[in-house]
Structure 1
Amino acid sequence: MVEVADSQMRTKIVEIISKTVLTEYSKRFNYDKIMNIDKDKQGNITLLRADTLKMNSIACDVSLEAQRELKKLQQIGIKFPLGYMFKNNLIAYYGPNVKVRMEPIGYIETKYLSNFESAGINQTRHTIYVQVKTNVKVIIPFKTDVIEVKNQVPICETIIVGKTPETAIDMNLDSAGFKMKSAGK
C-alpha cells in the first residue's frame, strides 16, 4: 500500500512541477536575452555568458508557484481504490477509496544543468535543463513515508553554428537556481 501511495503521490507531484516549469519558462525565458554570445571580428564565438539574475528570478518564481500548488495538493490529497494495490486489472477499480495525503518537508530546490555536445561539423548543441527537487511526507492510514521527488525538464536546446573555442566551455550554472524552505511543518 505504501509503494502504491508513494507512486501515486510522486506522479502527481511530478505533474505539478512539470506544469509549473512549462508555464513559468514559456512566459519569461528567451534564450537570446538570457544567453549572451560574444564573437570576435571573424564571427567566431569567444564567450557565452548567462544572465544568472534573470535565471534566478525565474527559478524563484518556479519554486514559489510549485509550493502554492503543493499546498493545494496537501489540503486535497489524492484517492485511489483499494483494489488498485493488487495490480490486477479485474479488481483495480473496486473497493473503498484510500485517501493519501502529503506534507511538504525541507526545501523546494530549483537548479540549472547545462550540457554542450557536438552536433556535427562546426555545430554545438547547447541544452539547458531546470531541475526541481523536493521532499514530501506521504501519509496513509497507519503509516507515513518520506520520498524525494526530483524532476528535470529541458527548457531550451540551441544549435550554435560556427567555430567554437578550443578550450572547454563551462557555463557553471551550478550556482544558479533557487532554494526555498517548504511551508510545511
Structure 2
Amino acid sequence: MRRKNRKKFVYLFITFIILGSFLIFLDLILRPAIIKVAESKTQLMATKIINEAVQKNVSMINYQDLMGIHKDNDNRIVLMMPDTVLINRISTQTTLDVEKELEKMETQGFTLPLGLVTGSTLFSNTGPPIRIGIIPVGMIDVTMEDEFVEAGINQTKHRIYLNVNTNLQIVVPFLRSDVNVSVDVPITESIIVGPVPEWYMKFNSQGEMTVPGINPRMGE
C-alpha cells in the first residue's frame, strides 16, 4: 500500500514538474509577444485619438487664419507672421481633448485574445481574453510646427502641422511597459511663389513667436 502511495506521489510530482516547466516555457515565449501586440494596439488607439482631436479643432482653419503674409509694393512677400492667439487656442483645446479621451482609454482598456499573440492566423481570434490596462504617464505636449519644402521652380510649399507627444503605460498581469506616442498631424499648407522671405516670425515650442530671424533655407 505504501509502495502504491509512493509511486502515486512520484507520478504527481513528475506531473507537477512537467506542468510547471511547460507554463514557464509558455510564459517566456508569450510574454514578449503579449507586450509587442499590446504596445502596437495602444499606439494605434492613441494615434486615432490624437488625429481625431486635432481634426476637430482645425477643421475650419485655413492657412490665412494661421499665417499673416506681408508684401512690399512689388507684391513680394517680405514678412510671415503666425497668429499666436489662435495657435495657443488650438494647442490648448487639443491638449484638453486628447487628455479627456486618454482618460477614457484608462477606464476602458482593451482585451486581446490569447490566440492573437501566438502569431497564428488560424487561431488569432481564439483563446481566453487577456485584459490590457492603459495608464497615461506624464504631460501631453502639443506644439505647432512648420517647414518649408521645395515644390517646383521658384515655388516653395509651407506646411503647418501639430506635433502631439505623450507617454502611456500598458499594464498586463505581472507586466508593465512604457509606450511613447508621437504624432505629426498636418493642419494646412500653402504654395509660396517666388523666394521665401529672408525674415519671418517663427513658431517656437510654446506656439508663440520668436523675434524675426533669418530663414534657414536662405543659407542653403
TM-score under structure 2 normalisation? Answer: 0.75
Residue identity opposite 2:156 in structure 1: T
Instruction: Quote the residue 2:118 is aligned against.
Output: 86
Q: After the TM superposition, which of the residue ranges 97-106 and 36-45 deviates more from structure 2?
A: 97-106
Q: Kindly, what percent of the aligned residue pairs are identical?
A: 35
User: How many angstroms does 1:170 deviate by?
Assistant: 5.6
User: How many angstroms does 1:30 deviate by?
Assistant: 2.6
Structure 2: distance between partners of 1:114 and 1:51 = 13
The 3 A distance-change label for structure 1 pair 20 and 127 is same
Instruction: Quote the residue 1:48 is aligned against.
Output: 80
Match of 1:176 among 177, 197, 206: 206
Instruction: Quote the residue 2:136 is aligned against.
Output: 104
User: How many angstroms does 1:157 deviate by?
Assistant: 1.6
User: How many angstroms does 1:163 deviate by?
Assistant: 4.3
Residue identity opposite 1:3 in structure 2: K
Match of 1:114 among 128, 143, 146: 146
Q: Deviations over 1:48-72 (max 9, x none)?
A: 0001221011011000000000111
Higher helix share: 2
Matched, 1:21 2:51: no
User: How many angstroms does 1:143 deviate by?
Assistant: 0.8
Q: Deviations over 1:103-140 (max 9, x none)?
A: 11111000122111222233210001111010111111
Instruction: Quote the residue 2:8 is aligned against.
Output: none
Higher strand share: 1
Q: Deviations over 1:24-82 (max 9, x none)?
A: 1114x232122100000010000000012210110110000000001111100011111
Matched, 1:132 2:164: yes
Number of aligned residue pairs? 175
Contact 2:81 2:200 in 1 (8 A): no
Residue identity opposite 1:24 in structure 2: N
TM-score under structure 1 normalisation? Answer: 0.89
Instruction: Quote the residue 2:91 is aligned against.
Output: 59
- 2:204 partner SS: helix
Structure 2: distance between partners of 1:153 and 1:126 = 14
Contact 1:38 1:47 in 2 (8 A): yes
Matched, 1:33 2:65: yes
Contact 1:83 1:91 in 2 (8 A): yes
Residue identity opposite 1:7 in structure 2: S
Which is higher, the Rg of structure 1 or of structure 2? 2
Instruction: Quote the residue 1:2 is aligned against.
Output: 35
Task: Give ranges in structure 1 of 5+ residues lacking alignment.
Answer: 179-185
Structure 1: distance between partners of 2:111 and 2:183 = 23
Root mean square deviation, CA, Å: 1.6
Which 4+ residue blocks in structure 1 deviate beyond 6 angstroms?
none
The 3 A distance-change label for structure 1 pair 124 and 41 is same
